[in-house]
Structure formats: C-alpha cells, structure tokens
Structure 1
C-alpha cells in the first residue's frame, strides 16, 4: 500500500536511521586512512616511535575530520529535533549532506598523503561543502515551514548562523592556506570559539522562548 503524503511526511525514523548509519561508517573509515609505518631494512625497532611521530599529519587529519563529522552529526540531530515533518526536498537535501559526509574520509586521506597546501585546501573545501549542505537543509525546512510551531524566527536565524559558521571558517582556511599552509591549519582552530559563542547564544534564546 502506498503511503499517503501525510503519513510519508511524518515518517522520519528511516531517514534518521540512514543518516546515522552513513555518518557512523564515515567516522569508522577515517581511522583506516592511518597507515602503519614500515621500519627500513637494517634499522632497529627503536626507530618506530620517530616514524610514528613523522605521521603527525595523518593523526591530525583523523582527529579534525572525526570532530567535524561528529559536530555535523550533532547539528544534524538538532535539525531533526525541530523538523516535525518533511517533504521530498528535505529527503534529497539530506541525501546530498550524506553524500558529502561519505566523501570526507577520502579528503582526509588526501590531506594525510599531501599535508601541504593541496591537502589543506582539499580537506577544507570538502568540509566546507559538507557544512553548506547541512545549512541548506535547515534553511529549506524553515522556509517550507516544516519546523515545529513556536520556534522564533530569531532562533531560526541563530541556528542557520551556527550551521554556516564552520563552512565559512573552512573557506577562510582555503584562502589563508593559499598564502601560508601553516596558518591555514591554524585557522581551523577558530571553529572552537565561534561555535561555542553561537551555541551559547542559541541556548539562551531557546530558553527565553521556552522551546
């Protein structure tokens, strides 16, 4: 039996289950990109710690990608906390978001292999696009009035700003890395204070509105 439009729009369990599964697999695949170093022929095993330290960029790429995907999962969960029903647009935008999430392990691998300007810009670009798709999903749902009633427009705008903060930081990292790769990496650290500030403001706003 074909579901009516009302029944289909209210069915979000399978949508969320698919999203959680794809994100969990993407996070798991990240660690597979960390390679075990080969000890040169004739060398002692005592050189292994130094060889592992030389792979700092692989570990850094893994931690960064893990934290960003985890952050996007948290934001994705918050999106669907407020979305009470969905249409085909939400379904396809959610799939677009998952497409980008599934691509992150490859981008992380590129950074691990080429930790210079190319790797930084490629990973930053991928993470930026991933964040933009999530922001687009939220903007579409709020525009189509698929979010819960009583959610103030100010809260919607703050939420949108929070979803856009990370991708804009990654875009800034691309620009900075074009001139200095080291400062491009440091730009990623801006994610911490910016997201913390927006989250604090959003929490205060929702508390005021009683949401």
Structure 2
C-alpha cells in the first residue's frame, strides 16, 4: 500500500462537512424573541432588538468560519499528494481551530 494518496478530494469533502456542521450548530443557538401569539410587529421588533447581541455573535462567528474555510480551501488546493501525516494534521486543525474560533 502506498504511503501517499492520489487526490485530496476526500480530505476536502471531510473538511467541508466539519465546517458545515459548525455553521449548523451556530444556527441552533439563535433564539426567536419571546412575544405573545397576537403581538404587534412593534413588539416583535422590540424583541429582536433585545436579542441583538446573539445575532451579532452569530454573524461574527459565521464570518470567522467563512474566513477559515476559504483559507483551508486555498491550502488544500495546493496539495498534490497526501500522506497519513497530512490527514492527521488536517484533523487536528479542525479539532482545534473550529470550536475555539466560534465560541
């Protein structure tokens, strides 16, 4: 069995999946404002205004993940051959980088 693999496609697909899950988990943290069933639009806007810190945190975390994903995509685009070491290094990068940049 060869130590090197032909293409980084599976590495890229796995990494994209990790990024997608991270973004999905961000969305799960977004809460809807607590307004009554027959509340006015003004009450809804007030409720949304009170939750602005969580929406801002979502946007910042999303763009942080986006920047990491673009950089990762550009890096993987330079890879011609992969080794087991590269696979583990990529996994370690995803393990360390993604949770801490979005917390």
TM-score normalized with structure 1 length: 0.43
Q: Which runs of 5+ in 2 are unaligned?
A: none
In the alignment, which of 10, 18, 32 is matched to residue 14 of structure 2?
18
Q: Does the CA contact (< 8 Å) of 1:26 and 1:101 recur in 2?
A: no
Ranked by relative contact order (alpha carbons within 8 Å, sequence separation 6 or more), the top structure is 2
Deviations 1:12-51 (A, max 9, x none): 11111101111112112212211012126xx943322111
SS of residue paired to 1:4? coil
In the alignment, which of 29, 51, 55 is matched to residue 33 of structure 1?
29
Residue 83 in structure 1 maps to residue 79 in structure 2:
yes
Q: Which runs of 5+ in 1 are unaligned?
A: 104-125, 129-211
TM-score normalized with structure 2 length: 0.81
- The residue correspondences of 1:41-80 to structure 2 (distance < 5 A) are 44-45=39-40, 46-80=42-76
> 1:92: which partner in 2?
88
> 1:5: which partner in 2?
3
Deviations 1:61-92 (A, max 9, x none): 11111111111111001111222222222111
Structure 1 or 2: more helix by fraction: 1
